[in-house]
Amino acid sequence: MSIRIVSVSGGVQSAVQADRVLQRYGPKGTTLWFADTTVEDEDLYRFLDDLERRWGKRILRRRDGRTPLQVSEEMGFIPTHRKAPCTFALKVDLFVADLKRCPKPVTVYLGMAWWERHRMDTPKSRYEAVPGVTVEYPALWQPMDRRPALDVVRSWGIEPPRAYSLGFSHNNCGGACVRAGQATWAHLLQVFPDRYRHHEDQEQHLRTRLGKNVAILRDRSGGTTRPLTLRTLRHRLQRRTVEEQDGPDWGGCGCLPAPDTDVPPASEDPIASAFGAAPRGDAEAGT
Ligand code: SF4
């Protein structure tokens, strides 16, 4: 008999897909698996606790121990939307290591939504490269449940993670994803200024250590592309010059297992609104 491992990200979408697996097979023989990046929003843990009570089952909480920026520091560069080693070091690699260790055969269930078929091939081939592993997407099981994941979670009597009502498009890394765009960071500054300043200080530390003009973000204004530090972005925002930014660039990570896409817009945030768009639906983000 195949062992079942269900990836749980801390967002609503993966919770709904995990629930489908448990409804079909029950908790026996099913492992619920979560990767803690150590920079998660506090309310994510409350959500995991609520899910454990609903499912009557503990979620295996794995932790590398480093933060996303500590991973980059050890590798000697600053992460960007193009290159974010934290995705692998803090999530994918931990998951693959556990897959290699556990008895086979194993079926892995990933929490992408049914409309994200275009993003399903890469994780499937990545995990199925481990002998004895098969990947499934419960969102594609018939009949499909097309209700918004937020509504489904509320129907369980569980309050979704506060990140959504605060205007974030996913519940990864406390809203401070290194693959996110300027609008997401601007929103973080608005909602969690201390969290923003912490990442700003970390970025400055990395720049000093590397001795290079590098940054997480890019400034594409004026027809050229230059590094844009979180400090510079904060100064611009605080001078109310967001209209100088280069457009609606929400960005996000593509971490395992999937971003959450059926979230309400952040249009009530005055800074975010200045970008002229709600958070990008797919967040290209994650775990
Ligand atoms: S959510 Fe973003 S910052 Fe966090 S591990 Fe994934 S890519 Fe890195």
Which domains, and CATH codes, for the chain?
3-165 (3.40.50.620), 173-273 (no CATH)
pLDDT of residue 243: 56
Residue pLDDT, tens place only, 100-113: 999 999 999 999 99
Q: Which residues of the chain have pLDDT under 50?
A: 242, 258-259, 261-287
Asked whether 37 lines ligand 1 (CB < 6 A), one says: yes
Q: Measuring from atom 2 of ligand 1, which residue has the nearest CA?
A: 177
Output the pLDDT for position 266. 43
Ligand 1 in reach of 35 Cβ (< 6 A): no
Peptide bond into 68 cis (omega under 30): no
Which of ligand 1's atoms lies nearest the C-alpha of 285? 1
Q: Which of 72, 88, 168, 173 to mutate to test the pocket of ligand 1 (most atoms within 8 A of CB)?
A: 173
Looking at residue 62, what is its pLDDT? 98
pLDDT at 133: 98
Atom 3 in ligand 1: residue holding the nearest Cα: 177
